[in-house]
Amino acid sequence: MRSVWLAAASGFLALAGCEDLPASDRDAEAPPQVETARPELDNLLERTRTGSISDDAGVTERMAASAQAYMEAVAAARAGIADYPYREAHSGFEAIRAAVFQLDDWAAVIDAAGSHRLSEAQEDQRQALREELGRLQRRLLPRLRSQFVTPEGVLEELAQCEAMGPTGRIVRCIARDFRDHARMVRFHNQIRRVIYRLRFTETRYQPEIHSVRQFYQYELDVPADGEVVIWLPSGDYRDPA
C-alpha cells in the first residue's frame, strides 16, 4: 500500500510527499485467527511422504480419519455459503466486518487442506468449495462496499463515507477530524483490514464535503472480488495452499 498527500490549489493537483504506516499501526487490530493448522498431522504427512516413517495401516487409518474430519469442515462451509443471505442489508460497521471475516473463515478451511491426504473425490469437493466461495464473494462484496459505514466512537463525529467511481471501488470518508493528520492515520488503521477485504482500490479522507482543497489518498493493491485469498496482517495476501 502507498499513500500520498494531495493538495489542490487554483486547479493544480500537486504531489507533496509519500508516507507509509509505522509497523506498530500495521500490526494493530489483528482479526481473530481461525484454528485450522494441525502441526502433528503436517509432521506425520511429511514424514510419510519422505519415507522417514512407514505408511503402515495405523498411519493410513489416522490420515483417513483426519481427512474425513476435514471433509466435514468442507461440507459445513459449503452449507454455510449456500445459505448465506447475501441480498440482505448489513447494518453498521460491525455487521460488515463480521461478513468479511466470515469469508476469511471459509478461505481458511480451503487453506487447511495441506495438512491432509485427500482422495480425488475429496479434492473435487474442496475445489467446489473454492468455486462457491468465489461466486459468493462476487455477489456479496459489491453490496458490502455500497453499504459501507464507519465505526462509531473512533472520531469526535461520525465520518460520512460513500463508495465512488464507475465500479464503486473507491471509498471517500469526510470528517472534520481529518484536518489532523494523526487522527486520520489512527482512523485508517481502525478500518483498514475491513477496507482491504472489501476490495476497495482506493480510500480518500477529506475534511470538508464541499471542498477538495486537501485530502489524503491511499491506493490499495487488492485481488478481484472472485479471487479466494488468505489475508496477511500486513494487508498482503496469498493463495490458499
pLDDT of residue 42: 53
Q: Is the pLDDT of residue 15 over 90?
A: no
pLDDT surpasses 50 at 120:
yes
Question: Average model confidence (pLDDT) for the chain?
Answer: 80
pLDDT digits (tens, 9 = 90+) for 165-196: 888 999 999 998 888 888 888 899 889 999 99
Q: Are residues 43 and 135 in the same domain?
A: yes
Q: Cell 492515520, residue?
A: 185
**Angle 23-170-194 from CA coordinates, rounded to 5°:** 45
Q: Does 225 reside within a domain?
A: no
Please provide residue 174's backbone torsions phi and psi, each rounded to the nearest 5 degrees.
-120, 125
Structural domain count of the chain: 2
What whole-number percentage of the chain has pLDDT above 70?
Answer: 74
Same domain, 53 and 84: yes
Full domain range(s) for residue 210: 2-29+151-219
Domain boundary among 115, 147, 179: 147
Do 163 and 73 belong to one domain?
A: no
158 and 119 in a single domain? The answer is no
111 against 42, higher pLDDT: 111
* Domain co-membership, 74 together with 106: yes
Separation of alpha carbons 64 and 52, rounded Å: 19
Q: At what angle do helices 181-197 and 93-111 cross, to 10 degrees?
A: 50
pLDDT of residue 158: 80
Q: Tell whether 236 is covered by a domain.
A: no
- 241 in any annotated domain: no
Enter the C-alpha cell of residue 104.
476469511
Check pLDDT > 50 for residue 38: yes
